[in-house]
């Protein structure tokens, strides 16, 4: 017997009312930025708006990304799955004629929200500004996605929640440029410092910057880091403007907010690498049911934002999802967390890590290659160019030479990361830590098997060539007059043939 018109109408109204009672979900996802916020201990700048989220919510001190580069990280966060499990682990992969499809049963988070009656949107969070905080019509269009698998753009209804139906809850991703605001050149860093001086009344003083010990106190490095800190200030201001908008619209208290960055600062040992500089991220949650002013030091992964959000909206978390709702009553903190780095652009790589509450273990599957492999993207940055210049002129100290420019790497690295902040003392060869090394090695092996790490086998040459055709035919060919990318591709294939 078919339902009557009135029964259908009642069901629709009931569904709409149930959806309206659910909290809005808003993610801040920021590019290329470590936890350099005053609420995380940064002393050189103040970040009052992220600090406010912390004061009114819960801050996680030990949150880490599972992938320290944009597209694998974003492929993971939008599915709640390790990028290595879903085959999206190579940076900017599946962009050519060879495509990547999600495994059966893995569904992007926005699709789950849409099915539950949510309005899904992705943009800048401000009606008249883009992700860089610059004036733009309608927020500059849809925000950054950068997924490595095939997906339907219809999973996003709009770039902004203003387009939703009255009373309809929304799932919004506010995508911000973050560390990319400083650009990749010394000229770009200078320009951002000048902008900070104009708009904030002062810029961060390069001479006051504290650098990790493996970077020289060189003017180019100092200006870049100062500009990066001002990028943090601009990001914080944008966050404050979005919060103010939520308040003005009377929906702040109905909205669960998660603030995080996709990975750490873009630098020679940061972005793309598995040390703290590349993987440690800020992670703050504020909203209905979230404890205020609480600090948590349990280990969490960035993908957990997927499970947290679904649970808050009353949407069942898929049983196969690897993300965890860290606010669940039956939540048991992880004993270890994991991260992976694979090919970035044309540069072939294979690194895995496991971290416990005391130790960080890193395995380099290609130890015969240098840390700073040739890479058109990174080698185009002024900071890396200057490091290479100083290396060539023998102007770096012993630690800087060892960590950045050794021709090979240890197959295994072990750090007591809670006391060795920058991971400079490798304990893997220390007999006093032999048992710990064996235990960490075993943890990583089990994770690799249990999660079906698809990086265990080299990327098929057919897929590599497919993606490299996009690089050579598009963005790499325009600024790269000498075609460094093509040279690097040839070198990658040569090293593979040599077993390097």
Q: Where are the beta strands (DSSP E) in 428-498?
A: none
pLDDT at site 136: 86
362 contacts: CB under 8 Å, gap ≥ 6:
274, 275, 351, 352, 353, 412, 413, 414, 415
Q: Is the model's pLDDT at 132 over the cut of 70?
A: yes
CA-nearest of 50, 366, 42 to 239 is 50
pLDDT per position as a tens digit, 329-364: 999 999 999 999 999 999 999 999 999 999 999 999
pTM higher than 0.75: yes
Confidence of residue 479 (pLDDT cuts 50, 70, 90): low
The pLDDT of residue 18 is above 60? no
Per-residue confidence band for 482, with pLDDT thresholds at 50, 70 and 90 = low
What pLDDT, in 10s, does the model give residues 417-442?
Answer: 999 999 999 999 999 999 999 999 99
Band of residue 2 on the pLDDT scale cut at 50, 70, 90 = very low
Distance between CA 150 and CA 356 in Å, rounded? 34
Provide the mean pLDDT of the chain.
94
Least confident of 239-253, 284-298, 463-477, 485-499: 463-477
Q: Structural domain boundaries of the chain?
A: 9-335, 341-459
In this structure, the strands spanning 351-355 and 360-364 are: antiparallel
| Range from 5-19, 99-113, 171-185, 311-325 carrying the lowest mean pLDDT | 5-19
Of the pLDDT bands very low, low, confident and very high (cuts 50, 70, 90), residue 480 is low
CATH: 1.10.260.40, 3.40.50.150, 3.40.720.10, 3.40.50.10490. Which one for 9-335?
Answer: 3.40.720.10
How long is the chain? 500
Residue found by looking up tokens 């849809």 in the block: 142
In the DSSP assignment, the letter for residue 211 is -
């Amino acid at each position: 017997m078919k339902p009557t018109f009135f029964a259908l109408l009642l069901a629709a109204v009931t569904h709409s009312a149930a959806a309206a009672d659910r909290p809005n979900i808003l993610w801040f996802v920021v590019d290329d930025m470590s936890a350099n916020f005053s609420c995380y201990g940064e002393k050189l700048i103040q970040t009052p708006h992220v600090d406010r989220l912390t004061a009114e919510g819960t801050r996680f001190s030990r949150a880490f990304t599972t992938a320290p580069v944009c597209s694998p990280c974003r492929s993971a966060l939008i599915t709640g799955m390790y990028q290595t499990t879903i085959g999206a682990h190579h940076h900017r992969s599946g962009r050519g004629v060879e495509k990547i499809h999600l495994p059966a049963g893995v569904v992007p988070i926005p699709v789950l929200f849409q099915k539950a009656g949510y309005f899904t949107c992705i943009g800048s969070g401000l009606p008249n500004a883009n992700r860089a905080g610059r004036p733009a019509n309608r927020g500059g269009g849809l925000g950054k996605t950068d997924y490595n698998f095939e997906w339907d753009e219809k999973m996003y209804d709009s770039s902004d929640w203003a387009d939703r139906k009255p009373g309809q809850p929304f799932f919004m991703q506010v995508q911000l440029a973050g560390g990319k605001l400083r650009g990749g050149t010394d000229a770009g860093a200078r320009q951002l410092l000048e902008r900070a001086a104009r708009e904030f009344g002062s810029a961060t003083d390069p001479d006051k910057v504290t650098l990790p010990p493996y970077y020289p106190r060189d003017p180019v490095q100092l200006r870049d880091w100062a500009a990066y800190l001002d990028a943090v200030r601009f990001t914080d201001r944008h966050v404050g403007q979005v919060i103010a908008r939520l308040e003005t619209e009377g929906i702040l208290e109905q909205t669960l907010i998660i603030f995080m960055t996709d990975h750490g600062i873009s630098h020679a040992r940061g972005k793309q690498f598995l040390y703290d500089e590349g993987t440690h991220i800020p992670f703050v949650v504020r909203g209905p049911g979230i404890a205020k002013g609480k600090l948590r030091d349990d280990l969490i992964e960035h993908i957990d934002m997927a499970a947290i959000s679904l649970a808050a909206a009353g949407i069942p978390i898929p049983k196969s999802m690897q993300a965890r709702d860290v606010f669940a009553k039956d939540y048991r903190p992880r004993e270890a967390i994991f991260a992976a780095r694979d090919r970035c652009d044309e540069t072939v790589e294979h690194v895995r890590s496991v971290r416990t509450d005391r130790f960080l273990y890193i395995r380099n599957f290609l130890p015969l290659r240098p840390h700073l492999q040739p890479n058109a993207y990174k080698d185009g940055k002024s900071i890396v160019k200057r490091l290479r210049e100083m290396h060539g002129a023998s102007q770096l100290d012993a630690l800087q030479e060892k960590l950045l420019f050794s021709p090979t790497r240890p197959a295994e690295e072990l750090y007591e990361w809670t006391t060795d902040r920058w991971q400079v003392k490798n304990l893997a060869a220390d007999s006093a830590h032999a048992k710990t090394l064996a235990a960490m090695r075993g943890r990583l092996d089990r994770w690799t098997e249990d999660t079906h790490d698809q990086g265990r086998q080299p990327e098929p040459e057919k897929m590599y060539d497919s993606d490299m055709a996009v690089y050579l035919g598009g963005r790499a060919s325009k600024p790269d007059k000498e075609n460094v990318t093509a040279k690097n591709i040839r070198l990658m294939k040569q090293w593979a043939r040599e077993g390097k």
